[in-house]
Amino acid sequence: MDDNKLDRLLADGWKVGTVAEFLGLSPEEEMFIELKLILSDRLKQLRENQHLTQKAVAKRIESSQSRVAKMEAGDPSVSMDLLVRSLLSLGATPKDIAEAIAMGSN
pTM, rounded to two decimals: 0.79
> pLDDT digits over 26-77, tens only?
999 999 999 999 999 999 999 999 999 999 999 999 999 999 999 999 999 9
The answer to whether 90 and 57 are in contact (CB under 8 A) is yes
Checking if the pLDDT of 105 tops 80, the result is no
Q: How many residues does the chain have?
A: 106
**Distance (Å, rounded) from C-alpha 19 to C-alpha 9?**
17
Q: Which of 50, 39, 49 is nearest to 98 (CA)?
A: 39
Domains, the chain, ordered by start: 27-104 (1.10.260.40)
